[in-house]
Amino acid sequence: MNFHRENRLKNLVWTIRGDYEPFQWDAEENEEEAGPVRDAELYDAVKQGALARYFDREALSLYLLKKIYLGGEEGPLLRLAQLAADCGSARRLTEERAGVASLRRKAFDRMLDEQFSELVRDDVGRLTLLYLQQEQGGKAQGTRKLEEALGQLEALGEQGSTRRLLEVVDGLYNRLVDPRFEEKHGGLDQVLAVTWEELRELDWRKFLQEEALEEVLEQYQQQLDQQMGQLPSAGWRRTGNGGGKAAVVQVDPEALRKRQAYVELNFGPSCIPEQETKRLTRLLCQGAHQDCRLHFTEGILRHPLKMNYQVQYARKQRELNEIYYRRHRSLARRNIQVLAQLLRKTLVFRNEPEWETAEYGRMVPARLWKVGRAEPRRLFEKADRKNQEDFAVDILLDASGSQRKRQSQVALQGYIISEALRELGIPHRMQSFCSFWDTTVIHRFRDYEDGPEKSDRIFDFFTSSNNRDGLAIRAAAEGLLRRPEDGKVLIVLSDGRPNDRVIRRNGQKNPQVYGDAYAVQDTAHEVRKVRAGGVSVLGVFAGEEEDLAAERTIFGKDFAYIRDISVFSHTVGAFLRRLIEADAV
């Protein structure tokens, strides 16, 4: 770790602790890149200091050792301990240091963006989600068991002693992870009664991230102690990083084999034949996307395979999208009318005939004097027409976790464009994209020839996981290029932040992480390639100003920056008008 970076984080730990006692710092786990210190790292440092200040860290790490010795599963146990430690110290921290609240909020935002799909996989992850959402001011809704578990965590804010924290962690583990643990090994007092001599009998090297250490038991305890001060993760292991949330992820081989079932369970079954999916995967998943897969679906709400947490989340988000639309119904209708009118005028102009000299057609009286003096073809003119039916549009929405705060706004923007095109009778398709592990999920809301009954499906839109923009654009363009219309437009609503994890497969070299400049350049390359194929591409940007440069790199001059939904139709309409007029030349 860079010295100044490490020194800053250590000073933050010491400041929160209130002393300058030396402590172990795991540079590997806390360094994400050689750039600015990120909010999650800063908050981890705050938590390290808070643990030392408010709790007996040695007692906590020793408890974890003893629970694991008796057969407790390290991953979920550690995540529950991290969650409880945060809950037990957050109120005191924010009361003493107001700036911690903002830092914590940003760290939680990032965690929700990056790990939603992984967190919904088990009860500990779902409890973490409820906790994060509630701490961010949202309404936490889950099963009765999880809501009761959340109540136990909340009580720690008022009774944050070390003993109380251990009671909560132990109780939550026994209820959520291994309901038979207490029956087999006893409660908290029985766990704490395990002696140091008994612990030494176990070979702890298999639990260590680094082996061949002289004092493996003590080292493992230090490792647990260090991890107690970090944010609770979803259980995946990061083996490299290209910045942001892009990473190389080591996934259990068994989980990798089951990924298709998991994708269908949480995003919906495929809506196209398996052979067609395989064909498109072979055709499109090349180059930077060589080890990727594609999954095409109509969504989890249309064809749920199981009433799981993801279905509940998707239903709740649809309700929020519909509420947002109803609140802005008048504004939406005005935007639809304005956009339709702008496009109608442009298409009328585009449909005006261009008259050219011909050997037959309409005779031009003013040229009759040329009879016998000039070529006959100069006496006639013929109209060359294009019509608005000679047009198709694709709308592609970024549905990655980084759009989580804007889900309802993105859904409404997609609805406005779609309804304006539908009023004009222009064939159009609307899809969203996100990626989970090595699979890019394309969610189709409406196809080109669908009628008004499919219009409100856009409100099924919800965000999750990551985004591989280059592959999604490539997939959308493949379908658009097969359309018979001469004029083709692809509209991409995104936040200018292509980021995706990549899977490390056993025995293979780490793949290139898909993030930062590499991902931006790949996406820009796909946009240029699609344009070279005859498709006009417009980027609609609704992200943060810091990502404007990336958006500009990807789409060049053809992107619209939406600051206010009230001017959405004017802004997008102006760009579409320019693209259509350019296509008519």
Q: Which domains does the chain have, with CATH numbers?
A: 3-235 (no CATH), 260-341+388-496+525-584 (3.40.50.410), 354-384 (no CATH)
Strand order in the sheet with 247-250: 237-241, 247-250, 502-504
- Structure tokens given for 29: 């786990």
Q: Which residues have C-beta within 8 Å of that of residue 272, sequence separation ≥ 6?
A: 296
- 552 sits in which H/E element: helix 548-555
- The bridge status of strand 487-494 relative to strand 439-446 is unpaired
The candidate with the shortest Cα–Cα distance to 298, out of 396, 445, 441, 467, is 445
pLDDT by residue for the chain (585 residues), tens only, comes to: 454 555 555 555 555 555 545 455 454 444 344 444 455 667 777 777 777 777 787 888 888 888 888 888 888 898 898 888 888 877 777 777 766 777 778 877 777 777 776 777 788 888 888 888 888 776 666 788 888 888 888 888 766 688 998 999 999 999 999 999 998 888 999 988 888 777 776 766 666 654 434 456 666 676 667 676 666 654 444 333 333 345 566 666 666 677 888 899 889 999 999 999 999 999 999 999 988 999 999 999 999 988 877 888 889 899 999 999 999 999 999 999 999 998 887 776 555 555 566 666 666 666 666 666 666 556 666 656 544 447 899 999 999 988 888 899 999 999 999 999 999 999 999 999 999 888 999 999 999 999 999 999 999 999 888 899 999 999 999 999 999 998 899 999 998 889 887 776 655 555 678 888 999 999 999 999 999 999 999 999 877 788 889 999 999 988 888 877 777 888 888 888 887 776 655
pTM (two decimals): 0.65
Q: Which residues have C-beta within 8 Å of that of residue 159, sequence separation ≥ 6?
A: none
- Measured CA to CA, the distance from residue 231 to residue 486 in angstroms comes to 52
